Amino acid sequence: MKPLHTIANATALVALFLLAASQVHAEMDAPSAACLAALSATPALAGELIYQGATFAQKPAGADPLFRYERRLTTTPAGLEAAHLTRDPAQKLVVAESAQFNAAYQLQRFTVQNQQLGYSGAVQVSSDGRQLRYTLNDNGVVSTAEETIDLPAVSGPSLFGFILAHGAELGAGKTIPVRFIVMKEKQTYGFDIRQESAAKGQVVYSITPSSWLIRPFLATMRATWDVGSKTWVRYEGRVPPMQTVAGKLVDLDARVDYTKVAATYR
C-alpha cells in the first residue's frame, strides 16, 4: 500500500491560535482535492482502521458530534504511516492529516489537506529530527520554509504514539518538551507533555503550551489512556476542524470520545 503523500502571528504567536474567522468556502489545489476525493470514497487506502472518534464542542456542549474522525494506519519501508480522516455531519471529508514515523514515533513526514480552509501542505523531517522543510499551498499561493529545532517534532497523528513511547519517563514525573507542527504557519510551537494523573485504570496526560503568551488563548489539552483496554478513550482540547458560527469558521475546542476498533493501538 502506498503512503498517502503519493496519493495525490498580544503577538504573532497568539494569532496562531486565534485564527481569523474564515469564510466557510475555500479553494483547494486540484491534487489535494483529488486526494480527499479518493480517501472519501475508499478510506481503506489509508490502511487499517484503528479507532473512531466523535468530536463534540466543549462550549456550548452539544448532544450531537460536530465531526467524526477515524485513525487508519499502514506500513511503510521506514516504519508506519497514520492518517486522521475527519468528516462533517454530511459525511464530507473536510480534513485529512497523515504522519510517517518510525517505531519510536520519531516523525519523518507530515502532510495535511484541509478543505475547510483551502490549504494543503507537507513537511519533511531530517533523519536527525532537527531540520524541517515545509511546502504550503494556501488557496493557490505556494510557499516554502525551513526550520531548525532542538526538540522532537510531533503532529496530530503522531502525538499519542509519542506519548506512549515515553510513558515510563512521564510516569516517573518527567516533563517532555516537544515542538508541535502547525502546517498553515509553516513552523512549530513548543508544548510540554506531562502525566497529570493515574487513577482507576486510566492515565491522563496534559499537553500545555510552553509559552506564557499562548497559554491564555489555548487551554491545556488532555488525553486519557485506558490501561486495561490499552486504548485512548478521550481527548479534550483544540482540534483541526473548525466549527461554523454565524456563517464563519471559528476555532473549535472539543471533547473527542474514542471507540476502539483494532486490538492494538498504533
Q: Which residues contact 84 (CB under 8 A, 6 or more apart)?
A: 69, 70, 71, 95, 96, 97, 98, 156, 157, 240
Q: pLDDT confidence of 13, banded at 50, 70, 90?
A: very low
pLDDT digits (tens, 9 = 90+) for 93-145: 999 999 999 999 999 999 999 999 999 999 999 999 999 999 999 999 999 99
Q: Quick check: 186 and 143 in contact, CB under 8 A?
A: yes
Q: How confident is the model at residue 4 (pLDDT cuts 50, 70, 90)?
A: low
Residue 21 has pLDDT above 90, yes or no: no
What pTM does this model have?
Answer: 0.89
| CA gap 182, 55 in Å, rounded | 20
Cite the beta strand spans of the chain per DSSP E.
22-23, 48-57, 67-76, 79-87, 93-101, 107-114, 119-125, 131-138, 141-148, 153-154, 176-182, 187-199, 202-209, 221-226, 231-238, 243-245, 248-250, 253-260
pLDDT at 61: 73
pLDDT tens track for 39-50: 999 999 999 999
- Counting Cα atoms < 13 Å in the Cβ hemisphere of 112 gives 26
**For residue 27, what pLDDT band results from cuts at 50, 70 and 90?**
confident
